[in-house]
Amino acid sequence: MKGFIFDLDGVITDTAKYHYEAWRNLGEKLGITVDEKFNEQLKGISRMDSLDRILALGNKENEYSLYEKKQLAAEKNAYYLNLLQGLGPDDLLSGVKEFLMAAQERNIPCAIASASKNAPLILEKLDVNDYFEAIVDPASLAKGKPHPEIFIRAAQLIGIEATEAIGFEDAQAGVDGIKACGMFAVGIEVDEPLIGVDISVNSFCDLDIDKLLEIQRNRHTAQ
């Protein structure tokens, strides 16, 4: 038994840059500078938790009521959705489509473990819905990444143990979640190095699916 569990933003498509742009824009309005380095801490983190981190950065965590914070988060999301308007199948990151097709040929189930509530919409725009047997609903989780709950749930949804799955992540919070449930971690490293991954690549073009399965199998039996 095997399965692949994918993060979405920054793994399947480069929406991570749009999240950053949308948070930077909201930060400017609030007088808080969200730079690229700080943005690394927001990757993989839910919308409301990201807002809390930004407000804490500007020492403004006690300045807004829950209602106002929900409005700010909605404002960020509206800006983000506007940036997604032109998103289409050409925006899949290189090698992703080929990898998903290779998984399908080998009958290996794939699932999405993303903190994003926009995941179903984005997968539809990219026209890759059919490759995924399951998408974890982040609203159904008690804890976000780096907690492993989302990866454990994804494995359950495709009928395998977490230790039998291979997880793909571009964020440290996600890698930490994958490793916390004994899953094999492939890091998609573009900007910052990811600590604790089993394998690191720049893109799916650098991955040979059969070699990857063999490495994971050897690691699994050695444990």
Residues flagged as binding site for Mg(2+) = 7, 9, 169-170
Instruction: Assess 55 for contact with ligand BG6 (CB under 6 A).
Output: no
Among the listed residues 7, 49, 137, 191, the single catalytic one is 7
Integer Cα distance of 85 and 66 in angstroms: 29
Q: Which of 26, 100, 110, 116 binds ligand BG6 (CB under 6 A)?
A: 116
Alpha carbon 37 to its chain's center: 18
Task: Identify which of 133, 90, 86, 92 has the alpha carbon closest to the alpha carbon of residue 112.
Answer: 133
Question: Is 7 a residue of the active site?
Answer: yes
Residue position matching structure tokens 């395998």: 160
Instruction: Assess 176 for contact with Mg ion (CB under 5 A).
Output: no
Both structure tokens of 218:
């050897």
13 Cβ contact list (under 8 Å, min separation 6): 87, 91, 92, 93, 96, 122, 126
Instruction: Assess 169 for contact with ligand BG6 (CB under 6 A).
Output: no
- Binding to ligand BG6, residues 177-196 (CB under 6 A): none
Nearer to ligand BG6, 85 or 107 (CB): 85
The residues annotated as belonging to the active site are 7, 9
- Footprint of ligand BG6 (CB under 6 A): 8-9, 16, 19, 42-47, 50, 77, 114-118, 171
